[in-house]
Amino acid sequence: MYGRKDKKFKLTPAMEDYLEAIATIKQKQGVARVRDIGDFLHVKPSSVHSALSNLSKRGFVIHERYEFVDLTSEGEKAAKDVIKRHEILLNFLTTVLGIDWSVANKDACLMEHSLSGETVQKLTKFVEFAQNRPGQDRPEWLHSFEHYYQTGEFRNCRKRAGK
């Protein structure tokens, strides 16, 4: 409804990063300052400033000179969206593929801006499927994958009686 698909409102990866950073910092510290955002994203205050003036013009953040930075409801929504995508990807990479957190986190950062809605949705379902199976922590096939990854051998989970 809010036209996130409209070209006029489409955020670049960098701008999504800023929104994500602001939301994350606010969540942790209550308020977000220019400095914090810069530290979070490893960019200089002047870069933050120009990003903020862009996002502010476009209605995603509120930023008065020398004051704390805040998100509009539009900005908050966009930030939540990015963070959710990030978490889904991170979850997939760590719990399904078994990638180290720090590598997975970096990869999630890189992927979170580019994926189509359809892929994100399916991935979400996939992670749910891999995690939430009732009555067991991890499904058998996931253990089998680990085994395959370690040894290159297919383990007979069922079928064919064997071994």
| Binding of DNA by 110 (CB under 7 A) | no
- Contact segment (CB under 7 A) with DNA among 38-46, 75-83, 125-133, 154-162 equals 38-46
Token pair belonging to 111: 């992927």
One of 51, 79, 111, 127 touching DNA (CB under 7 A): 51
- Angstrom distance (rounded) from CA 110 to CA 24: 17
| Residue 46 touches which member of DNA, its own copies, none, C-beta under 5-8 Å by kind | DNA
Please say whether the dihedral angle defined by the alpha carbons of residues 105, 39, 45 and 84, taken in this order, is positive or negative.
positive
21 touches 38 (CB < 8 A)? no
The three-point CA angle 140-144-147 to 5° equals 145
Please tell me the chain's helix, strand, coil percentages from 3-state DSSP, rounded to the nearest 5: 65, 5, 35
| Contacts (CB under 8 A) with its own copies, residues 65-94 | 93
Where does this chain bind its own copies (CB under 8 A)?
A: 93, 96-100, 103-104, 106-107, 110-111, 114-116, 118-119, 122-123, 125-126, 128-129, 132-136, 139-141, 144-145, 148-149, 154, 157-160
Where does this chain bind DNA (CB under 7 A)?
A: 12-15, 17, 33-35, 41-47, 49-54, 63, 65-67
